């Protein structure tokens, strides 16, 4: 039994002759190791989870597509789960019975901070997006402040004077919106814009519908905006739709920039200018970090900042 196990797991200390003999029998019998027994013994499943607020959100599903392939490259299988922004559900996925199925988790947090000591989870965690608390876990993200500043500066550089933002989420612990707001303010500060004149539209969630409604509020306001930076492409697509409905020309009357570079934006009319995070690289770095932890690599929490670039398309073209 020992020798067979050695052959199956490709260990050393097996005589070449024995190895071929065993291998032959393995093939002949169509032997497949029982994963449950193996897990019972080793405690490892070979599964890792991706936990996101919404699978149906294009940004996350595009990211998931990359991660599935990355997982396979590391000999792992990716399991995708969604929390729908429900903190209880988020907690359950991280420390409930569900957690037993997976060796580690890549999580884009919403309400819960998975590194919070309150979360009773003993498996490796990789954080995507902005970190909520001070806990220590590997963290992959772009520089949201700089990226938001890039977008805002681009709009200001077009000569627009009334640049608004859509997408602040003051009710969430997840700090991504806060970071992007900070970037917006930073860019305005740099050109000496009047702080009191900033215009920030909060949203409940990040669907197209929220963007559409926020844009409607913006257009109804007395001194309407001449440019809008939306914190996600989905919000921007909703905003674009409202402009179309109201006969507001984009980019002539209002220039719009989104964030995420989802495929829909490339084919929208007008095509959507956006901040494009390097999703392939985010997936690569996240899975590399997780796989590293799983193979017992210690060391302090890794902090990876991935590149982004501003893609200027029709919705904000000169």
Partner DNA sequence: TTGTAAGCGTTATCAC
Partner DNA sequence: GTGATAACGCTTACAA
Rule CB under 8 A: choose which of 18, 269, 297, 305 binds a copy of itself.
269
* Stretch of 37-45, 153-161, 167-175, 188-196 contacting a copy of itself, by CB under 8 A: 37-45
4-33 footprint of a copy of itself as x/- string (CB under 8 A): ----------------------------xx
Q: Least separation, in Å, of the C-beta of 16 and DNA?
A: 8
Confirm or reject binding of residue 219 to a copy of itself (CB under 8 A).
Answer: no
82 binds a copy of itself (CB under 8 A): yes
**Of 17-76, which residues contact DNA (CB under 7 A)?**
17-19, 31-34, 37-38, 40-42
Tell me how far apart the alpha carbons of residues 115 and 120 are, in angstroms, rounded to a whole number: 9
Nearer to a copy of itself, 76 or 164 (CB): 76
Whichever of 33 and 157 has its CB closer to a copy of itself, that residue is 33
The 3-state secondary structure of the chain, one letter per residue: CHHHHHHHCCCCCCCHHHHHHHHHHHHHHCCCCCHHHHHHHHCCCCEEEEEECCCCCHHHHHHHHHHHHHHHHCCCEEEEEECCCCHHHHHHHHHCHHHHHCCEEEECCCCCCCCCCCCCCCCCEEEECCCCCCCCCEEEEECHHHHHHHHHHHHHHCCCCCEEEEEECCCCCCCHHHHHHHHHHHHHHHCCCCHHHCEEEECCCCCHHHHHHHHHHHHHCCCCCCEEEECCHHHHHHHHHHHHHHCCCCCCCCEEEEECCCHHHHHCCCCCEEEEECHHHHHHHHHHHHHHHHCCCCCCCCEEEECEEEECCHHHCC
**Interface of this chain with DNA, residues 169 to 198, rule: CB under 7 A:** none
CB 202 within 8 A of CB 169: yes
Task: Identify which of residues 44 and 246 has a Cβ nearer to DNA in the complex.
Answer: 44
Residue 78 binding result from DNA, a copy of itself, none, given CB thresholds of 5 to 8 Å by partner type: a copy of itself
Q: Is there binding between residue 212 and a copy of itself (CB under 8 A)?
A: yes
Q: State the minimum distance, in angstroms, from the CB of residue 13 to a copy of itself.
A: 25
Least Å distance between CB 192 and a copy of itself? 36
State yes or no: residue 101 binds DNA (CB under 7 A): no
* Contact present, 59 and 90 (Cβ < 8 Å): no
Binding interface with a copy of itself (CB under 8 A): 32-37, 39-40, 43, 45-47, 54-58, 61-62, 64-65, 68, 77-82, 97-98, 100-101, 207-208, 212, 237-238, 240-241, 244, 263-264, 266-269, 271
Binding interface with DNA (CB under 7 A): 1-3, 5-6, 8-9, 12-15, 17-19, 31-34, 37-38, 40-42
């Amino acid at each position: 039994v020992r020798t067979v196990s050695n052959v199956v797991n490709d260990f050393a200390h097996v005589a070449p002759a024995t190895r071929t003999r065993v291998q032959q029998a393995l093939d002949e019998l169509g032997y497949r190791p029982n994963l449950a027994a193996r897990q019972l013994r080793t405690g490892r499943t070979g599964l890792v989870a991706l936990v996101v607020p919404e699978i149906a959100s294009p940004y996350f599903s595009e990211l998931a597509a990359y991660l599935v392939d990355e997982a396979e490259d590391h000999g792992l299988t990716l399991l995708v789960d969604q929390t729908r922004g429900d903190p209880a559900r988020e907690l359950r996925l991280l420390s409930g019975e569900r957690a037993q199925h997976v060796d580690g988790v890549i999580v884009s947090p919403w309400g819960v901070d998975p590194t919070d000591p309150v979360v009773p989870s003993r498996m490796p965690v990789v954080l995507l997006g902005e970190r909520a608390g001070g806990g220590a876990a590997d963290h992959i993200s772009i520089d949201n402040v700089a990226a938001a500043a890039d977008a805002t500066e681009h709009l200001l550089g077009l000569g627009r004077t009334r640049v608004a933002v859509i997408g602040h989420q003051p009710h969430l612990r997840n700090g991504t919106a806060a970071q992007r707001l900070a970037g917006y303010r930073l860019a305005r500060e740099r050109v000496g814009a009047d702080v009191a004149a900033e215009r920030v539209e909060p949203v409940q969630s990040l669907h197209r519908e929220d963007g559409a409604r926020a844009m409607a509020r913006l257009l109804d306001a007395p001194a309407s905006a001449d440019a809008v930076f939306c914190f996600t492409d989905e919000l921007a697509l909703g905003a674009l739709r409202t402009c179309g409905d109201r006969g507001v020309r984009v980019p002539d009357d209002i220039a719009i920039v989104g964030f995420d570079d989802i495929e829909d934006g490339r084919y929208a009319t007008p095509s959507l200018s956006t901040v494009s995070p390097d999703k392939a690289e985010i997936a690569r770095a996240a899975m590399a970090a997780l796989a590293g932890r799983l193979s017992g690599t210690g060391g302090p929490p890794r902090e990876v900042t991935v590149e982004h670039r501003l893609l200027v398309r029709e919705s904000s073209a000169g």
